[in-house]
């Protein structure tokens, strides 16, 4: 019985799985949106900060769009940003 269990466990431990590569997309798109919400508990109308200046408001910081292309050993990346933080 010990030899039988040893044989079963050694066969189960030596099985191999074939990994298949996922098909790569010729062009990758990605992006992000940067937004802020400010609420001042003292309810002062305007306290300027680096990201939001109006009380109880939502502001857009930046919209970022990126394209990526990989060919062999070389890769190319293009990125464009919109919004107040994208201009700095």
Residues 49 and 57: their CA atoms lie apart, in Å, by 13
What average pLDDT score do residues 54-58 get?
73
What average pLDDT score do residues 1-7 get?
67
Residue among 75, 77, 14, 63 nearest 34 (CA): 63
What average pLDDT score do residues 45-59 get?
68
Strand 28-38 to 74-82 pairing? unpaired
Q: Is residue 35 a part of any domain in this protein? A: yes
Q: Is residue 9 a part of any domain in this protein? A: no
Range of 65's domain?
25-87
Give residue 16's pLDDT. 57
Reported as a pLDDT band with limits 50, 70 and 90, residue 25 is: low
Q: Is residue 83 a part of any domain in this protein? A: yes
Q: Is residue 11 a part of any domain in this protein? A: no
Residues 34 and 83: their CA atoms lie apart, in Å, by 9
Q: Is residue 16 a part of any domain in this protein? A: no
Computed over every residue of the chain, the mean pLDDT equals 75
Checking if the pLDDT of 67 tops 70, the result is yes
Q: Is residue 6 a part of any domain in this protein? A: no
What average pLDDT score do residues 40-46 get?
73
Our count of domains for the chain comes to 1
């Amino acid at each position: 019985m010990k030899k039988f269990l040893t044989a079963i466990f050694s066969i189960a431990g030596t099985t191999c799985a074939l990994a298949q590569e996922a098909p790569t997309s010729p062009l990758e798109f990605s992006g992000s949106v940067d937004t802020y919400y400010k609420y001042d508990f003292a309810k002062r109308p305007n306290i300027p900060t680096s990201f939001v200046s109006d009380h109880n408001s939502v502001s857009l910081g930046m919209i970022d769009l990126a394209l990526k292309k990989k060919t062999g050993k070389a890769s190319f990346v293009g990125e464009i940003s919109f919004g107040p933080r994208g201009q700095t």
